Amino acid sequence: MTENGTWRAIDAYELIFGKLDLGSFQRRLLFQKTIYFLKLLGVQPFKDLNYTWYKRGPYCFELGGIYRKIYPDKIYLTSEEKESVLKHKKIISALISDEKSSELNSSVAYLVYDEKLSDVEVIKRIALTKPWFEQKDVELALLNIKEIFKIA
C-alpha cells in the first residue's frame, strides 16, 4: 500500500470511530477489521489490499506497517471516498462492536469471501481454529455476513 493509501485508511477509520490510537492491540485489531470490511463493501482505495488468514482473522501486512512508521504529510480521503466510508459507518460499527464480534465476523467474512469456503467448511474451520466461539454464534455470523455482503 502506498503512503497515500495508508493515510486514507487512517482517515476512513477516524470517520467511523474518531481519533486513531494504535497504542493497544485491541485498537490495532479494530483498525485492521474496519479497513477489511470497507474493502468487502467495495470502498476505494481499499479494494486492492491483500489480506491473509492470521491468528485473529484476516490481516493485512501492508496496513500493519503503519504501526512502525510516521509520515510527515498526511493524505486524506477524497470527498467521494469519505462519502462512501460514511455510507457504511453503521454496518462497520455493528460488525466490530467489540473485540470478540470483530474477530468472529471478520474471520467468517474472510473464509467466505476470500477463501470461498462453503457454510459447512466455514463452521468447521472456525471450530478448529477458534474453538472459543460457539457454533450457534458462528452460524449467526455466517448468515449476517452473507446478507450484508450479498454473498450467495
pLDDT recorded at residue 145 = 94
pLDDT tens-digit series, residues 32-83:
999 999 999 988 888 888 999 988 899 998 887 665 454 445 556 788 888 9
Note the pTM of the prediction, 2 decimals. 0.75
pLDDT recorded at residue 72 = 45
Measured CA angle at 8 (ends 106, 103), to 5 deg = 15
Q: How far apart are CA 49 and CA 142, in angstroms?
A: 23
pLDDT recorded at residue 2 = 54
Q: Within a 13 Å sphere around the CA of 142, how many CA atoms are in the beta-carbon half?
A: 21
* 113 C-beta neighbours (distance < 10 Å), count: 18
Q: What are phi and psi of 28, to 5 degrees?
A: -65, -40
